[in-house]
């Protein structure tokens, strides 16, 4: 009669687990390397081509991914990978975290200008828009993806009485845009060459005689071959002027993590939401899922003080709106 000898399973840290550990380490370092490349491209402004440009838009999410990678690597006792991921996280946080804190404002003592920008998706709820204009006492409204039918719905809801002055370039699809104003406006032609959707410009004459030049901004998104056009469109937008105040408001299809957008700011503009610590609040997509990128902005001459910003929801459009209360120099 032979005895049966039971074999014990290999220890968790025995030879059989070595390949598994190597695979985990390889995976950890692969993820860390990709995140590090992402951070380098963002910090150095090296994005080129459609995919890298779109990837920059979600850099705040990249910072979260780097933090999770560091935590997982630490739990798996891969301390070098954990340290590397933590450093990548720190780099990403250093470029996105300042948007959550307000900046010191210039000593502007001029009149206030309340601005609203909404990409209407050609079918945004007109009554909600008019209610916002009334509640926030909006003086200039930048309307993107403005259709002829949407103009009729807005006026039927009461916008005609609240904002009788306008420079409109509506269309049947996403191309249309318009500027609605509480104060008299004069269409500006020749200020710049719009590239992408319609981008009307106007001089707004404020009570007391002051003037502000206003542009409704909406370039095409940097998808596929349109990435080069998107860069050109942002470069074509007018720079600030030493003799007049300019405000650019709309759907830039760009975030603060895009070099092209930062270059535009570098010419002498400030992002209103960023100035008051709301630069991380996402604005798109806002239909069916929660928004996770910030591509709608109000930009103002850096001599302008930003007093208040609200990110607002409008039913039946995939963008959130941006309201900014500005104080002019």
Q: Are 147 and 270 in a shared domain? A: yes
**Sequential DSSP letters for 283-309:** -B--SSS---B--EEEEEETTSEEEEE
Distances in whole angstroms, Cα of residue 43 to Cα of each of 14, 61, 258, 281? 43, 15, 10, 21
Contact 220/146 with Cβ under 8 angstroms?
A: no
Q: Residue 9 CB: number of other CB atoms within 10 A?
A: 7
Q: Are 171 and 279 in a shared domain? A: yes
CATH of the domain at 145: 3.60.10.10
pTM of this structure: 0.92
Q: Residue 301 CB: number of other CB atoms within 10 A?
A: 24
176 token code pair: 């249309």
Count of the separate structural domains present in the chain = 2
Q: Are 53 and 69 in a shared domain? A: yes
Query: Which ranges constitute the DSSP H helices of 76-216?
Result: 79-96, 126-135, 148-156, 159-162
pLDDT digits (tens, 9 = 90+) for 211-239: 999 999 999 999 999 999 999 999 999 99
Q: Among 54, 80, 99, identify where a domain stops.
A: 99
Q: Are 147 and 284 in a shared domain? A: yes
pLDDT digits (tens, 9 = 90+) for 11-70: 445 554 777 777 878 888 999 999 999 999 999 999 999 999 999 999 999 999 999 999
Contact 294/96 with Cβ under 8 angstroms?
A: no
Q: Among 77, 99, 121, identify where a domain stops.
A: 99
> Dihedrals φ, ψ of 39, to 5°?
-65, -40
- Has residue 221 been placed in a domain? yes
- Has residue 192 been placed in a domain? yes
CA distance 245 to 203: 10
Q: Are 60 and 116 in a shared domain? A: no
- Has residue 180 been placed in a domain? yes
Q: Are 200 and 248 in a shared domain? A: yes
Q: Among 38, 65, 99, identify where a domain stops.
A: 99
pLDDT digits (tens, 9 = 90+) for 102-142: 999 999 999 999 999 999 999 999 999 999 999 999 999 99
Domain that holds residue 43: 15-99
Q: Are 272 and 235 in a shared domain? A: yes
Q: Are 39 and 58 in a shared domain? A: yes
């Amino acid at each position: 009669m032979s005895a049966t000898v039971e074999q014990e399973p290999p220890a968790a840290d025995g030879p059989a687990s070595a390949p598994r550990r190597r695979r985990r380490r390889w995976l950890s370092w692969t993820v860390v390397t990709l995140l590090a490349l992402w951070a380098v491209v963002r910090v150095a402004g090296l994005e080129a081509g459609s995919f890298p440009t779109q990837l920059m838009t979600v850099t705040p999410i990249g910072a979260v991914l780097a933090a999770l990678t560091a935590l997982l690597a630490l739990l798996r006792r891969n301390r070098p990978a954990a340290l590397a991921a933590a450093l990548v996280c720190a780099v990403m946080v250093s470029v996105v975290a300042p948007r959550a804190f307000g900046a010191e404002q210039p000593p502007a003592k001029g009149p206030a200008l309340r601005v609203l920008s909404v990409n209407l998706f050609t079918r945004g709820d007109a009554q909600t828009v008019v209610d916002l204009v009334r509640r926030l006492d909006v003086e200039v409204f930048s309307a993107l993806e403005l259709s002829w039918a949407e103009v009729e719905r807005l006026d039927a809801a009461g916008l005609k009485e609240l904002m009788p002055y306008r420079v409109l370039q509506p269309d049947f699809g996403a191309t249309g845009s318009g500027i609605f104003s509480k104060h008299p406006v004069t269409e500006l032609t020749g200020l710049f060459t719009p590239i992408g959707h319609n981008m009307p410009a106007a001089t707004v004459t404020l009570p007391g005689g002051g003037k502000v030049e206003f542009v409704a901004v909406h370039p095409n998104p940097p998808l596929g071959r349109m990435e080069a056009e998107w860069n050109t469109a942002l470069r074509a937008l007018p720079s600030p002027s030493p003799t007049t105040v300019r405000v650019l408001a709309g759907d830039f299809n760009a975030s603060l993590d895009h070099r092209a957008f930062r270059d535009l700011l570098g010419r002498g503009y400030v992002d209103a939401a960023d100035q008051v610590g709301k630069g991380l609040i996402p604005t798109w997509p806002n239909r069916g899922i929660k928004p996770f990128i910030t591509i709608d902005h109000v930009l103002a001459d850096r001599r302008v003080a930003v007093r208040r910003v609200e990110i607002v929801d409008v039913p039946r459009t995939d963008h959130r709106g941006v309201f900014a209360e500005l104080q002019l120099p």
